[in-house]
Structure 1
């Protein structure tokens, strides 16, 4: 995610955030009930216990007139414990029917986003099961947590850390990634964009039906549906990856930026390894959106998007998408790397910018501003995830690079991303991995940059070539 209003600077004495403090996780006390949350320290009721989702098959119809949604979602999962009841995360329109393994199931909605399901027959650990949920009704527009309505009358879904539950039921935690398929029907004059590969696009009668497949596992908030009167741009990388990008009616001016996507992908493959998905592209909306978001394989770009924003969101395809956080406290793995790629590596290697000088100028500017240093990069706290990772994160990575040396740093980050391809990672794992790749003792460095809430000591602030 790249934020319009922060743009990596401190806004006076305060920082804008885009998250809310999470409620305390409920404890059912029932050993045969899947937990109502996955236990993320920041969002304990996100996700669910008792099973792992493996695939989502989402069938929706959407009528822009009245914002009416009909849906039928199948969740293929495996039980990790014996259960007579379990939860799905869902905050969308009214549910009319739920089945488990083809048999009618009881259901209830509790809290803000819990769909409690009681199957007719108990579920046994280690065995697969399938849940089908049918629902329909009007959707409500939000700002960064689900449906967003476009000036043309279209709509799209975007938000971090929450958005997916507004349009289909799921296990909504980045620690449970699954493959994803979408089958969407809209009036014939509208187009549909989503993640992955478009496998079907047919107009019949007055409707258009479009199928999409995300064949690599994806976290829920990185899935999307976008409906608009799009114009398209098809490209291909030098290595043959097909690219499909879409532009809302008042976003056509962004085509010039998106035409550089093959160049951007080639640049980032050199840094982080082969592009991890079957296809790439972008969805350029013309709605007054305060962020752009790295929706998997096809980011959503706000009207203010510039080249740096595209570089940032494409870096997320490695850092955040293919390799996802274990918990939201690990968000530096997403945003520190995307910001460093866009704000330091691209300007340095493409434009010849002196990034050591850029680093020193930034440190000098905020050297004596305690607000700049007060939010830790590792475990910043619920509600502060999307703050210091943008403006302190690039400084941390540049100082780490100068501490380790060029060869060791770039080999380590390349290999770490590759080792966690299609999986999850944590900041403690990153620290341990990086330490294993250099003889330099990094304990003090990591403590100063990641754990502390004040300015690092000069020995960590000005390593190597950063010394004056």
Structure 2
């Protein structure tokens, strides 16, 4: 294997809610896009759908851009929206799906022509265009919809997606699912796209999203994220935000949004954290940075691309980990959700490195303490990093962070820090999973790491002494 190792529209224009969806026409042939994204390896081997969430994403097309136009009434908690999806077919299509949970769809157009549509399962919006779409052609889908968005509840992580804040505002973020609660999407990390939000809200309210704020005019807030983004890394907040704009020494613009009841204490650490992370990981991968701060108790700081969402209990470790995920998690996007522990383990390890660099506990001592606490406990070691199980994708980083340091000890600092810095860079165009990481680490180390990978990544017992 050759491995490269180197450094809007106003609320008056929104349709009213209440129209009934038309039934879609069924077609039993190979021109129907699948209702789950089928992953294919670069060598053409079909890997299949995500085993944890087999109906996530859809087949038959690749999205280039989402433009979400919305108007939100904070008093009624009601959303009117129109999303335009620009995509390219990967096959002939007489029918295809988008993912959208709840909400009432009032109309769908494909290339400007009314299309039939229906709803299926928990989140499938099934669309039948008036005419068959040829393979390898660009097309647009315009979906008009409305309602009161609801969160999705995820084991061990609480609510994800659209939720009402303690302030009376709303915000949407989270993983594995969030985007589907407020806009129609091809909900797979394998299909990154640019992302634009044009949000209209009453006077005194603000809309915050990913990317760069382009303008505010007549209550409409326009945002553009031109770095392709995965659906799970999108975010939005609508509140009486205090917005503060600044810049990092290198020129990256910073926009922080503080909901009522929050302040800039945590945000003040961002310049120092970014200086540390760019030193470890290289240039920051998106055009802007900052954060959205809400007073709510959330179980994690969600590392939304360019603008993480921090709850009221977030601390500096949460800030470091969320910003590290801009490289390990956003620039490097996973293939399937069983690959999530890979990026989570590295972002947690970067918190260890940050703490050590700032007078905290030495990383080696922290590792030794962690190994002593784990002992031979089968409940700790019995969790397989490469396949923790559905709903457990975020629950094994205590084991994963030990694995990362064990790899460092096994291959040496020079090669380890090449992996830390360069692996996210090679993943800009291609999603990466455990298998890809195993090949890459072995190539960089110029070692047979089969025993290490089997013990730490695929193993369910204490790794042997020589590998820890």
Same fold (TM over 0.5): yes
Asked if 1:218 is matched to 2:225, the reply is no
SS class of match (1:109): strand
Partner of 1:22: none
SS class of match (2:69): strand
The aligned runs of 1:29-428 (5 Å cut-off) are 30-38=29-37, 39-142=49-152, 143-202=158-217, 204=218, 208-252=219-263, 255-342=264-351, 344-351=352-359, 353-388=361-396, 390-421=397-428, 423-428=430-435
Query: What is the alpha-carbon distance in structure 2 between the residues aligned to residue 415 and residue 159 of structure 1?
Result: 26
User: Which segments of 5 or more consecutive residues in structure 1 lack a partner in the other structure?
Assistant: 1-26, 462-468
Q: What displacement does 1:352 show?
A: 5.1
Q: What displacement does 1:151 show?
A: 1.8
Query: What is the alpha-carbon distance in structure 1 between the residues aligned to residue 454 and residue 281 of structure 2?
Result: 25
Query: What is the alpha-carbon distance in structure 1 between the residues aligned to residue 400 and residue 408 of structure 2?
Result: 12
Query: What is the alpha-carbon distance in structure 1 between the residues aligned to residue 337 and residue 148 of structure 2?
Result: 31
Q: What displacement does 1:422 show?
A: 5.2
Q: What displacement does 1:307 show?
A: 0.3
Q: What displacement does 1:291 show?
A: 2.1
The aligned runs of 1:446-457 (5 Å cut-off) are 446-457=453-464
Q: Is the 8 A contact 1:325 1:426 kept in 2?
A: yes
CA 1:299–1:445 in 2, change beyond 3 Å: closer, same or farther?
Answer: same
Calculate the TM-score normalised by the size of structure 2.
0.89
Query: What is the alpha-carbon distance in structure 2 between the residues aligned to residue 251 and residue 326 of structure 1?
Result: 35
SS class of match (1:411): helix
Q: Is the 8 A contact 2:300 2:318 kept in 1?
A: no
Q: Is the 8 A contact 1:68 1:137 kept in 2?
A: yes
After superposition, give the CA deviation of every residue in 1:61-81 in whole Å (9 maximum; x if it has no partner). 011112100000000000111
Partner of 1:3: none
Q: Is the 8 A contact 1:282 1:299 kept in 2?
A: yes
Q: Is the 8 A contact 2:332 2:432 kept in 1?
A: yes
Q: What displacement does 1:228 show?
A: 1.0
Q: Is the 8 A contact 1:42 1:381 kept in 2?
A: yes
Query: What is the alpha-carbon distance in structure 2 between the residues aligned to residue 54 and residue 136 of structure 1?
Result: 24
Query: What is the alpha-carbon distance in structure 2 between the residues aligned to residue 61 and residue 239 of structure 1?
Result: 36
User: Which segments of 5 or more consecutive residues in structure 2 lack a partner in the other structure?
Assistant: 1-25, 38-48, 153-157
CA 1:327–1:28 in 2, change beyond 3 Å: closer, same or farther?
Answer: farther
SS class of match (1:256): coil
Q: Is the 8 A contact 2:341 2:394 kept in 1?
A: no
Q: Is the 8 A contact 1:297 1:317 kept in 2?
A: yes
Count of residues in correspondence between the two structures:
427
SS class of match (2:445): coil
SS class of match (1:318): helix
SS class of match (2:368): helix
After superposition, give the CA deviation of every residue in 1:264-301 in whole Å (9 maximum; x if it has no partner). 11111111111000000000111222222011100000
SS class of match (1:187): coil
After superposition, give the CA deviation of every residue in 1:335-372 in whole Å (9 maximum; x if it has no partner). 01111111x11112222532211111111111121111
Query: What is the alpha-carbon distance in structure 2 between the residues aligned to residue 354 and residue 78 of structure 1?
Result: 50
Q: RMSD value over aligned CA atoms?
A: 1.4
Query: What is the alpha-carbon distance in structure 1 between the residues aligned to residue 147 and residue 366 of structure 2?
Result: 52
CA 1:28–1:296 in 2, change beyond 3 Å: closer, same or farther?
Answer: farther
Query: What is the alpha-carbon distance in structure 2 between the residues aligned to residue 456 and residue 141 of structure 1?
Result: 40
Query: What is the alpha-carbon distance in structure 2 between the residues aligned to residue 163 and residue 92 of structure 1?
Result: 12
CA 1:416–1:91 in 2, change beyond 3 Å: closer, same or farther?
Answer: same
Q: Is the 8 A contact 2:195 2:224 kept in 1?
A: yes
Range 402-411 or range 143-152, more displaced: 143-152
Query: What is the alpha-carbon distance in structure 1 between the residues aligned to residue 422 and residue 329 of structure 2?
Result: 15
Query: What is the alpha-carbon distance in structure 2 between the residues aligned to residue 410 and residue 160 of structure 1?
Result: 28
Partner of 2:451: 444
Query: What is the alpha-carbon distance in structure 1 between the residues aligned to residue 188 and residue 151 of structure 2?
Result: 22
After superposition, give the CA deviation of every residue in 1:114-171 in whole Å (9 maximum; x if it has no partner). 0000000101110011000001122235552321111221000122110101111010
SS class of match (2:216): strand
Query: What is the alpha-carbon distance in structure 2 between the residues aligned to residue 265 and residue 422 of structure 1?
Result: 24
Query: What is the alpha-carbon distance in structure 2 between the residues aligned to residue 356 and residue 304 of structure 1?
Result: 28
Q: What displacement does 1:407 show?
A: 0.9
Q: Is the 8 A contact 2:196 2:224 kept in 1?
A: yes
Q: Is the 8 A contact 1:144 1:160 kept in 2?
A: no
SS class of match (1:451): coil
Calculate the TM-score normalised by the size of structure 1.
0.89
